Amino acid sequence: MPDTAENPGKPFRCPTELHTFPSPKQRLGALNMDWSDKDIEFEEKKMFEDAVSDIENALKYAEHIGADETEIIYAMKKATIINFKTDAIETARCSTNVGYGIRSVLNKAVGFSGTNIKSSLNDCVKSALESAKIMGPDPNFKNLPQSSKYTPVDGLYDERIIQMSIEDCIEKAMEMVAGAEDVKGIVPTSGSFSRSLSYVLIMNSNGVFAKKRGTGFSGYVDVITKEDAGSGDASTAYDYKVSRSKDIDFYKIGQNAGFLAQKSAKGVMIQPSKLPVIFHPFAFSDIIENTFASSIDADNVQKGRSGLIGKLQERIGTEELSIIDDGTLPGGIGSGSFDDEGTATQKTSVVENGILKSYLYDSYTAGKDGVKSTGNGFRNSYASVPTVDISNLIIQYPKSDILAETKNGIYIHTVIGAHTANEISGDFSVEGRNAFIIENGELKTPVKSIMISGNIFDVLSKIDGAGADVQKVGNIVTPSVRISEMSVIGN
């Protein structure tokens, strides 16, 4: 499933309290999910003051019991998730997740521990130090991040999201249902609405003091053609949007999915061939995420698990292609003033005019290579250690009307199976869904199902066009992209 407000980029995953009710109008009084009834500003100030005091005391305790360096992250996340089946609300979940993660260093050995119990913070510090003693020294570890200057990033917090009532949240979910049902012959099968509020505070014994807050907002819907529902000839489609701001048209999400399923009905089979292929942003981002993103991870490079080992300053893509990782992108799903280690984020040129310029680093992999961290150390939760990941990976290529410029080829909206790609070689084989034959610059006959196989590095070298339809697909920002030739097999 694509990134959502519950999962915007690198989420702090958390357990949820589950409430079930059969319709939007029932049991609303039983759900205490309204956040607007509190003084958020006061609550936030008090929360951070308490967390800072707790962490300062814990850092002093870590020094007292012999730690060379210590880092403590505090994370809090609140989320509301509304799920629906067909045209009825199925579940609503409200969750609040709070916890601390501690890394302690002793003689270049790093130990970790986490807790969601505030009173156990010192015990957790002690456990992290004991873990370091068991781990033994790591000659590749240099140090925890040093204090640095953080530049604010715009567009990451929208108070209108946290002021929404439960009725507002349900209304947004039902707008997707209405959008889908207003398309002739379409019924929604499932979907979800979510909104989230998160706070992060990181402090360490080297002077790092970093705090941030952010909001998330998203909608997702799956639809099917009504007359074929339950048969093997049914046409399905999905659409979704995720944002940091309250700027999503949820009716449009349902409508877009409905129109796509409608247009995809009565698909034909095609013969195996080699043709130009245009990938919609959904399809291309899925392939990039499961192939290229892992190849530029410095940890994979250092461990021999990347197809880009030793290829810095070499050509890996067409001359007009540039790829940037930008943790400072305004409104970016993966944006922030700092990563999950407290290192300031930055704009990193990964590929420039087809030339590989940089890998992505966290503090550990940067120390191992003797370079500066790119600010790409991220965590799955407060209870996990940082690892290298993209922030916002941006695909740049000169824009044009690539559909009108394509005499014949295949257009693919979504793919299935990208997660099975070989992350080392870059080879992939995916099923193309909601695909269409391109004739004389127009989308014509829908294709029932096709298989597309290729290699990501070959793909990057064969890009010969990009559309103006740039979309933020989770942590990847990309337009539609045309590949000059790919192997296409009718399924």
pTM (two decimals): 0.92
pLDDT of res. 2:
46
Query: Which stretches of 107-155 are assigned E, i.e. beta strand?
Result: 109-115
**Do the beta carbons of residue 22 and residue 84 sit within 8 Å?**
no
Task: Using the Cα atoms of residue 291, residue 297, residue 299 and residue 305 in order, give the sign of their dihedral.
Answer: positive
Q: Which element (helix H / strand E) includes 252?
A: helix 250-264
Measured in degrees and rounded to the nearest 5, phi and psi for residue 302 equal -65, -25
- Torsion sign, CA atoms 312, 316, 322, 324: negative
Q: State residue 228's pLDDT score.
A: 59
User: In this predicted structure, what is the pLDDT of residue 175?
Assistant: 98
Q: Amino acid identity, residue 205?
A: S
Encode the chain (491 residues) as per-residue pLDDT tens digits. 444 444 443 433 222 222 222 232 222 223 333 444 455 666 778 888 999 999 999 999 999 999 999 999 999 999 999 999 999 999 999 999 999 999 999 999 999 999 999 999 999 999 999 999 999 899 999 999 999 999 999 999 999 999 999 999 999 999 999 999 999 999 999 999 999 999 999 999 999 999 999 999 999 999 999 875 555 678 999 999 999 999 999 999 999 999 999 999 999 999 999 999 999 999 999 999 999 999 999 999 999 999 999 999 999 999 999 999 999 999 999 999 999 999 999 999 999 999 999 999 999 999 999 999 999 999 999 999 999 999 999 999 999 999 999 999 999 999 999 999 999 999 999 999 999 999 999 999 999 889 999 999 999 999 999 999 999 999 999 999 999 999 999 86
Quote the pLDDT of residue 490: 84
- What the block records as the tokens of 167 is 């009725």
Angle between helices 40-64 and 121-135 (to 10 degrees): 50
Q: Where are the alpha helices (DSSP H) in 303-455?
A: 363-369, 402-405
Closest CA to 371 of 346, 393, 394, 354: 346
pLDDT at residue 417 in the model:
96
Residue 47, pLDDT score: 85
